[in-house]
Homo-oligomer: A and B are copies of this chain.
Amino acid sequence: MQFPETFDVIVIGGGHAGTEAALAAARMGCSTLLLTHSIDTLGQMSCNPAIGGIGKSHLVREIDALGGAMGLATDRAGIQFRVLNARKGPAVRATRAQADRVLYRSAIRETLERQENLHIFQQSVDDLMISGDRVIGARTQMGVDFLADRVILTTGTFLGGKIHIGLETSAGGRAGDAPANALAQRLRALPFRVARLKTGTPPRIDARSVDFQRLQEQWGDQPEPVMSFLGNTGMHPEQRCCWIAHTNEQTHDIIRTGLDRSPMYSGVIEGVGPRYCPSIEDKIHRFADKTSHQIFLEPEGLTTNELYPNGISTSLPFDIQVALVRSIAGLESAVITRPGYAIEYDFFDPRDLRHSLETRAVRGLYFAGQINGTTGYEEAAAQGLLAGINAALASRGEQPWCPRRDEAYIGVLVDDLISMGTLEPYRMFTSRAEYRLLLREDNADLRLTDHGRRLGLVTDARWQTFEEKREGIEREQARLRQHYVQAGSPQAQQLRARLGSDLSREYSLADLLKRPEIEYADIAPLFEGASADPQVAEQVAIQAKYAGYIERQQAEIERMVRFESLRLPDTLDYDIVEGLSHEVRLKLAAARPETLGHAGRLPGVTPAAVSLLLVHLKKAG
Task: Give me the interface of A with B, judged by CB distance under 8 Å.
Answer: 1, 3-4, 37-41, 44, 101-102, 106, 109-110, 113-114, 119-124, 141-144, 165-166, 168, 170, 172, 175-178, 204, 206, 303-306, 317-319, 322, 335-339, 341
Contact = CB atoms under 8 A, between A and B. Distances in A.
Given A120-B206, A143-B168, 11 more contacts: A1-B318, A3-B322, A38-B175, A38-B177, A39-B306, A40-B41, A119-B337, A121-B336, A142-B165, A143-B318, A144-B339
A580 to B, nearest CB: 49
Query: Which of A3, A40, A336, A339 neighbours the largest number of chain B CB atoms within 10 Å of its CB?
Result: A40
13 contacts: A1-B319, A3-B318, A39-B337, A41-B176, A102-B106, A110-B303, A119-B335, A120-B337, A121-B336, A124-B170, A142-B165, A143-B168, A144-B318
A424 B272 CA distance: 51
Contact of A122 (B109, B170, B176): B176
B176 A40 contact: yes
A170 B140 CA distance: 11
Contacts of A38: 175-177
Contacts of A168: 141-143
A107 B305 CA distance: 13
Contacts of A119: 206, 335, 337
Given A318-B1, A337-B121, A303 B106 contact: yes
Given A109-B303, A142-B165, A122 B337 contact: yes
Nearest to A165: B142
A405 to B, nearest CB: 39
B176 A142 contact: no
Nearest to A326: B4
A178 B175 contact: no
Contacts of A3: 318, 322
A573 B165 CA distance: 63
A178 B170 CA distance: 12
Contacts of A101: 40
A101 B337 CA distance: 23
Contacts of A341: 142
Contacts of A121: 336-338
Nearest to A102: B106
Nearest to A338: B122
A4 B322 CA distance: 9
A141 B339 CA distance: 11
A182 to B, nearest CB: 9
